[in-house]
Chains A and B, each alone.
Chain A
Amino acid sequence: MHPTLLVIDWALILEKALLISAVIVISLVVAMYETLAERKIAGYIQDRLGPNRAGPGGILQPLADGLKLFMKEEITPNSANKVLFVLGPCLAMLTAMLTSAVIPWGSTLFFGEREVALQVADINIGILYIFGIVAMGVFGVMIGGWASNNKFSLLAALRGASQVISYELPMGLSLIALLMVTGTLKMSSIVEAQVDGVYNVFLQPLGFLIFLICAFAECNRTPFDLPEAESELNFGYHQEYSSMKLGFYLFAEYINMFISSVLMATLFFGGYDIPFVNDAALRESWGHNPVSILQSVVLLIKTGGFIFFFIWVRWTIPRFRYDQLMDLGWKKLIPLALVNMIITAIVILWRQQ
């Protein structure tokens, strides 16, 4: 019999484990500092200082917030479904993190002879995978709202879930037009095409706009933050949650915001491509690894721009009423996305002739 029953490429597993840990750490740290950025920018927009007590300029504020959430009393309502009550926030967090697996965080790095791609899984159905995870993300909200055994939580959960599944449709339709242009579902190929050519946002401006609006709705951000409208709609699906379980829901929202910003940067703004610079020529003069690291930094800077936009909109625009929300999704965005798709198809066919 063969001496080794199970052949495992340990180097590959180690490489992927390190990469996954790095991506998770980056997502969590970015989400932490998004909360601080949100409060600082809100302070600037409303002409006040924002948090500035913890550390120089409030730089330790997220740690203090996290500590506060951990120290709070963990309350589980008597009539709640105990297992599902815990499962809800876990699912929200899990689905928020899972999407990061197919995003190309950079090109490749060389460790000695070994070339390591800065992407956890380069599958050729990358975009569909993201849709699969987004579809799963609804369950975190629904399970949490139902398990609380509170009518307001349940209503808010239904409201949130119907919002997410309604805006999934125009999002998918706007991406179909993008896929017609790129001709592939593979995330790495989409980015590589943009590194050599034009950014997709110039080819699909309307598609990008629809995607942006839907990303706001999917992340439950203002002006679509009805699931958590605390003042007029009695908070949201996490009404009964306290301590870190509530923290998980809130944190999942910030991670979603980060991931969708990365997605927009990747799909429409060239991903890790350095703008106005010929990356290949730079690679010749600087060497391989420094340029790769610079590219990853550039991706994070682009992402930061989108995160700023998310926050900026939140403190500028009031929220929609529920019927306005549904009208916008079903009667405006879906027809618009369909028209965009047809125009794209006609232009592509016309150029082929």
Chain B
Amino acid sequence: MSVTEILFYSLSAMAIGSALLVILSKNPVHSVLWLIVTFVAISGHYILLNAQFLGIVNMIVYAGAIMVLFLFVIMLMNLSTHKEAKKNKWLQMAGVLSGGLLLLVIVASLKGAEQATLVAQTNEGSIGLLENLGKTLFTDYVIPFEIASVLFLSAMVGAVVLGKKTETTKS
């Protein structure tokens, strides 16, 4: 077993274990913290695949910024474990059914996909390195990249507009 394999298996165990704990923990704040651990483990996987930029951006954006927002909301709502209302039995059944169906679809699509036969290359390949990624984004994929940035900008403007509205109604 090489170092890479050991890292891969321990990162995988960490990712799956903490992902299970996200669902299983009773306290929503604990769930968020386990989700952060999951993101860190997935970042580790990216780095094993030599996609350093993706790995670190995953850390900054998902584990950092987005999870802070999650924590903000959950901490301010102060969700406690006792107040949880009993859910409708039929609703639970429907949830299990739809979740199972989703799993089925994912497994089926992965089975039929071309990538199923390809083996992920660890520690080699240079497409994930910063320079190559930047060159690809700004030459081959300029238009999708710019459109995505306009999308983000419009989302930001929308958020500002929503924020402004509440302020004017208050005063």
The answer to whether B75 and A135 touch across the interface, beta carbons within 8 angstroms, is no
Q: Give the B interface residue count (CB, 8 A).
A: 25
Chain B residues closer than 8 Å to A162, beta-carbon distance? 72
Chain B residues closer than 8 Å to A143, beta-carbon distance? 33
Question: Could you say which of B27, B64, B130 has the most chain A C-beta atoms within 10 Å of its C-beta?
Answer: B64
- Nearest Cβ on chain A to B20's Cβ, whole angstroms: 18
Chain A residues closer than 8 Å to B2, beta-carbon distance? 6-7
Bound-state Cα–Cα, A7 to B4, Å:
11
- Nearest Cβ on chain B to A334's Cβ, whole angstroms: 12
Interface string of B52-81 (1 = CB under 8 A from A): 110011011001110110011001100000
Q: Does A84 contact B (CB under 8 A)?
A: yes
Chain A residues closer than 8 Å to B130, beta-carbon distance? 124-125, 185
Which of A20-28, A126-134, A268-276 touches B?
Answer: A126-134
The answer to whether B75 and A138 touch across the interface, beta carbons within 8 angstroms, is no
The answer to whether A125 and B56 touch across the interface, beta carbons within 8 angstroms, is yes
The answer to whether A5 and B1 touch across the interface, beta carbons within 8 angstroms, is yes
The answer to whether A142 and B1 touch across the interface, beta carbons within 8 angstroms, is no
Chain A residues closer than 8 Å to B60, beta-carbon distance? 128, 131-132, 135
The answer to whether B129 and A124 touch across the interface, beta carbons within 8 angstroms, is yes
Chain B residues closer than 8 Å to A157, beta-carbon distance? 75
Nearest neighbor of B52 in chain A, beta-carbon distance:
A125
The answer to whether A128 and B57 touch across the interface, beta carbons within 8 angstroms, is yes
Residues 138-164 of A contacting B (Cβ, < 8 Å): 138-139, 142-143, 146, 154, 157-158, 161-162
A-B contact count (CB 8 A): 66
Nearest neighbor of A185 in chain B, beta-carbon distance:
B130
Chain A residues closer than 8 Å to B29, beta-carbon distance? 81, 84, 146
Chain B residues closer than 8 Å to A129, beta-carbon distance? 56
Contact partner, B68, options A123, A128, A138, Cβ 8 Å: A138
Q: Does A8 contact B (CB under 8 A)?
A: yes
Bound-state Cα–Cα, A125 to B52, Å:
7
A128-B56 contact given A146-B75, A154-B75, A161-B72, CB 8 Å threshold: yes
Interface string of B96-108 (1 = CB under 8 A from A): 0000000000000
Q: Does A32 contact B (CB under 8 A)?
A: no
Nearest neighbor of B59 in chain A, beta-carbon distance:
A132
A128-B53 contact given A135-B63, A136-B59, CB 8 Å threshold: yes
The answer to whether A158 and B75 touch across the interface, beta carbons within 8 angstroms, is yes
Nearest neighbor of B5 in chain A, beta-carbon distance:
A6
Bound-state Cα–Cα, A56 to B59, Å:
47
The answer to whether A158 and B76 touch across the interface, beta carbons within 8 angstroms, is yes
Chain A residues closer than 8 Å to B72, beta-carbon distance? 158, 161-162
- Nearest Cβ on chain B to A233's Cβ, whole angstroms: 18
B-binding residues in A (CB < 8 A): 5-8, 81, 84, 123-125, 128-129, 131-132, 135-136, 138-139, 142-143, 146, 154, 157-158, 161-162, 165, 185
19 other contacts beyond A132-B60, A132-B64, A157-B75, with CB at 8 A cut-off? A6-B1, A6-B6, A81-B27, A81-B29, A84-B29, A123-B52, A128-B60, A131-B56, A131-B60, A132-B56, A132-B63, A135-B60, A135-B68, A136-B59, A136-B63, A136-B64, A139-B36, A162-B72, A165-B68
